[in-house]
Chains A and B, each alone.
Chain A
Amino acid sequence: MENTTGDLFDDELKMDATAKNHLKGIATWAMIVVVTAVLGYIVTIADTFLSPAYQVGRMREGFTASVAFGQKSMTGAIIQTVIGLIIHFFLYRFCVLISQSVRAMDQDKTGAAFRNLKIYFAITGVISVIVALAVLILLAAMI
């Protein structure tokens, strides 16, 4: 009987103790990444509001160069924050789902957790390609 069970399930991948341990570690560190990223965005936004360029822009009347510069950096910070929050939302979902899945042995949540982690890596990958293309364009402009 034991042999039969072994033959049936031996070639099946499982979330064994080692895998669960790794998943718990990934969830913990990924949550640290999410928290530091969100706090970082808050600091970035605060820094942009408090930066001299923005204050000079707000203090002056009319559309001066400093106003444009101040608004530009604010726009950049907001775009960066929004994209970052979207990316890290998927990482947060992964952390929550994988923790629940390991605790409750919920197979559906395992799949959903990995789907979220896949989306996180996919978006990050696409952004890295865009960055590489931007660097390539700069390089071409220099040559």
Chain B
Amino acid sequence: MEDNKSLFDDLKVDFQTGAEVTEMSRWIKMLGIMLLVIPGLVLLMFLVGWNKMAVLFSEGLDAAGEGGTIAVTMILLVAIVVAAILGLIAFFLIRGGKRLYTGIRTRDQVMFNSGLGDVKSFFIIYGVLGLLGLLLNLISLIQ
């Protein structure tokens, strides 16, 4: 009786759960793609409006002198870090979505598990960023 319980009471990916996970994997992939598209569009916007920004930057640099160069370097560094983090999140989302979809379709347990692992990695990054964001928000509220 005990053996039967352990054999058959385990959670399964039944038809209903499979359908939900399949649909979810599509949304996950789309979100991952959008996380690549949006920074791309923003970058394009920066390139298109570069002339206006170059004027602003040069005015700022003239006014701020040494400090202006540091400010521009800081902005570029922040942009690179943000792009890298978004790229990493998008990578986990797209790969996770693909793996979950393939895992469900081909009934591949290893693929399904690694898809869940990718989703977990996404939430870990998101959680750490959330904690950092909250900390910065609190600091700005106190100041």
Q: Footprint of B on A, CB under 8 Å?
A: 5, 11-16, 18-20, 22-23, 25-26, 29-30, 32-33, 36-37, 39-40, 43-44, 46-47, 50, 101-102, 105, 107, 110-111, 114-115, 117-118, 121-122, 124-125, 128-129, 131-132, 135-136, 138-139, 142-143
Contact = CB atoms under 8 A, between A and B. Distances in A.
A125 B12 contact: no
Interface residues of B, number: 50
A-B CB proximity, top 7 nearest: A36-B130, A15-B11, A13-B13, A128-B34, A22-B116, A29-B123, A118-B24
Interface of B: 7, 9-14, 16-18, 20-21, 23-24, 27-28, 30-31, 34-35, 37-38, 41-42, 44-45, 48-49, 103-104, 107, 109, 112-113, 116-117, 119-120, 123-124, 126-127, 130-131, 133-134, 137-138, 140-141
Contacts of B30: 125, 128
B42 A33 contact: no
B37 A132 contact: yes
A136 to B, nearest CB: 6
